Amino acid sequence: MRSGGKFDFSGLLGTSGVSGSTAVDVTIATAGLDLSAGQNIGVRYGSFSLSSSNIMLATSNTVAGEVAVANDGKVVVFSFSGGSTGNSANGAIYYVEDTTAGAGQSWSVTLIGTMSGTSATIAQIASSSVFL
């Protein structure tokens, strides 16, 4: 985190962070987190964990709990354990990248941080400009 309370993931992403304005509930059957078209930072809730089995190619973004990433993509995912957007933003921050250049995908998921004891809600993290 940089001064001014902003997250800076540009070193990982190779560009400025672009986030959506809503968080996705991982328990809803048709609500995947789509980070395949312009957004490279996303927020999901209902599960603290994220693994490579939760990452799918951009064409498969309507599966509960899954994160859609473009081929050769790099994204940051905030994954919060709370069951609603009104809960405190306690959870994990993951860096996801496709490590296979060109055709084919091999998803790497790395835990890069945790958030606990925060007074911010999941909705506030998702909707405010806390990213550079």
Planar angle of CA 115, 120, 125, nearest 5 degrees = 80
**What average pLDDT does this structure show over 61-72?**
81
Rama region for 86: left / alpha / beta (φ>0; ψ in -120 to 50; rest): alpha
Q: 3-state secondary structure string, 39-91?
A: CCEEEEECCCCCCHHHEEECCCCCCCCCEEECCCCEEEEEEECCCCCCCECCE
What tokens were used for 47? 């599960």
pLDDT in tens, 2-60: 546 788 888 899 888 888 778 888 888 677 888 888 889 999 999 989 999 889 886 55
**Dihedrals φ, ψ of 19, to 5°?**
-115, 160
* pTM, to two decimals: 0.90
